[in-house]
Chains A and B, each alone.
Chain A
Amino acid sequence: MNKPIPNSFRQGPDARGRFGPFGGRFVAETLMPLILEVEAAYEASKTDQAFQDEWRRLLTHYVGRPSPLWFAERLTAHLRKDAAPGMGAKVYFKRDELNHTGAHKINAVLGQILLAKKMGKTRIIAETGAGQHGVATATACALMDLPCVVYMGATDVERQQPNVFRMKLLGAQVVPVTSGAATLKDAMNEGLRDWVANVRDTYYCIGTVAGPHPYPAMVRDFQSVIGIEAKAQMQEAEGRLPDVLVAAVGGGSNAMGLFYPFLDDADVAMIGVEAAGRGLDSGEHAAALSRGRPGVLHGNRTYLLQDGDGQITEAHSISAGLDYPGVGPEHSWLHELGRVQYTGVTDDEALAAFQLCSKLEGIIPALEPAHALAEVLKMAPTMPADKIILMNLCGRGDKDIFTVAKHLGEKI
């Protein structure tokens, strides 16, 4: 089948919030006026210099941006050891795990909370999976003196205790969600239900490039600071762009943030790594693009894990942040256009990468970017030594040490 190739991959979304056939605004009428209000406020903020200056100020002095670009020299050398002569690409990390709160989530949260204030909203709600987005939202709300309610699947509350306590310390109310499978998708349902019930004063701070338009575009735009910085830093370090970008994809916000500024650089390949859980053919994974099909959930059309009757099926991943049966609609579009390749990494591969990175680089990654790293470990030895891989190390692993210890059979 011949698909027309657009002359730019950076045109989406259109006026309906569509990326090709994906995206859109599939919400109940009660929310529709709110979504339009958010869209109008977001559009206005793009040209609001005071808004942009304040967001930049927070990124610099509160988050600690720009995050460094790190040449993972020991890891590169390690991978070259077993590679054929002349093989073994150079591996760089974009170190968004060094951000305040420990992940990339804070970039888009600060933008959204500033927007909420501008809209006159006085209460913030959010959903969270691994807890990183919840912590980021609770942090921004503490800083800006706004009440914050975070919906979190009861299963995730159990496996991400450190982040639950962090959110409480920051003054947020964490509501365990027991409906459905009690994970991220159910937390998002509960967030949407809360928003419907509190439309007048509440802003829903969505953590990923999903949800109804304008969220996928807005979160991507805020996260694009990652790719914009990386592009300049790579020019400075190597005098050229990287050959391959690699990032983990759950909902896909860190990946969109890194990829988007490079989408029209034809020589830069991109790999999105989904969670293959216990294996892509085990039925227990979170690989919506590799094993799902298009459908509508949480306000947008995108690839989803679903059964033959259109019922959403449960995702599985060792990483709570990737444990989502959908994916951002722009990823679905880039997948169908072939601009980004999507692949899967299993729980075990991610666990091995998690440990290797800790030992070789002195960086304990979150389980989410450990998936991206596992893919890097596979591909770097197959690429010539003068090639460059840039991976988004989008979160730190402090929150995961209990989960990892449990899997390794260690008591802490």
Chain B
Amino acid sequence: MSRIAQKFAALKAEGRGALIPFLEAFDPDRETAMAILRGMPAAGADLIEIGVPFTDPMADGPTVQKAGQRGLKAGATVAGALGMVREFRQGDAATPIILMGYFNPILSYGVAKFCADAAAAGVDGLIVVDVPPEEADEIAPDATANGLDLIRLVAPTTGEDRLPKVLSATTGFVYYVAITGVTGTRSASTDDLAAAIPRIRKYTDLPIAIGFGVRTPQQAGEASRIADGAVVASALIDGMLASLDAEGRATPATVPAVLDRVRELAEAVRKG
């Protein structure tokens, strides 16, 4: 059983959903991002999503775009992101890590080499935003061969006719994009989510995580109860941003600023 499947099974036994915080690799610098990553499990992260910066992130709103730009400026590369995971795994063998990014940096690295190196570094799953099911054969064979889960996005626009096609090839968990929009902009209503998730469950037994627009502890708690997990990205980045100095550099307050928010979110997810 994969680390992702094990984690969701354990949480199901606990009777709660997962908190999946996001951080952008090398944002605002490698050392700070590494400290945040290391501190996340103790702060209550059940799974962790790491963004691999790309110059042209077409599904991301301003917050994650700027996080990516800071990451790139700090020297982020695919190899650098994998290096962070490798270092993280030295102290944590249990927390699943999902890399989220766009296809071109992976293509440039080499798809087969990327999947092999990611698995070796301790990555558990991949979300490649701009590879829909129609293009999945670009990466699915190498991901599968290396035991990586390929986590698919389902959107409000994904109709009943497409759901079986999208879901049949998904492994690990399903990522429900809660809004038609980019990251960090608006939020779905509880009613919308309560209607959307059962629609997906008709076609899959996999866990479902909700992302895009999950910002507050209350929203994270609700999402983790309606589905099986909540992904929080922009709200954490915004929290970090407030702790940076005038030149955008990390301060002693940066790592606690993010981890305190993770703690608040984790508490809300655990409240049941």
Residues of A near any B CB (own CB < 8 A): 16, 24-34, 179-180, 185-186, 189, 192-193, 196-200, 295-299, 304, 306, 308-312
Contacts and interface: CB of A to CB of B under 8 A. Distances in A.
Contacts of B77: 309
B153 A297 contact: no
B159 interface: yes
B155 A29 contact: yes
Given A33-B157, A33-B159, A299-B130, A309 B59 contact: no
Which of A28, A197, A306 has its CB near the most chain B CB atoms (within 10 A)? Answer: A28
B59 A28 contact: yes
Contacts of A32: 132-134, 157-158, 162
Interface of B: 54-59, 61-62, 65, 72, 77-78, 102-109, 129-135, 152-159, 162, 166, 177, 179-182, 185
Given A30-B177, A199-B157, A295 B107 contact: yes
A295 B104 CA distance: 6
Contact of B155 (A30, A180, A189): A30
Chain B contact residues: over half helix, strand or loop, or mixed? loop
Nearest to B129: A28
A309 B153 contact: no
A310 B107 contact: yes
Contact of B162 (A33, A306, A308): A33
A33 B155 CA distance: 10
A312 B55 CA distance: 6
B170 to A, nearest CB: 11
Nearest to A295: B104
Given A24-B135, A27-B132, A33-B162, A296 B55 contact: no
Contacts of B106: 310
Most buried by B among A34, A296, A297, A306: A296
Interface centre among A186, A298, A308, A311 (most CB of B within 10 A): A311
Nearest to B58: A192
A26 B105 contact: no
A179 B63 CA distance: 11
A310 B181 contact: no
B108 A295 contact: yes
Nearest to B212: A30
Given A197-B185, A309-B105, A29 B135 contact: no
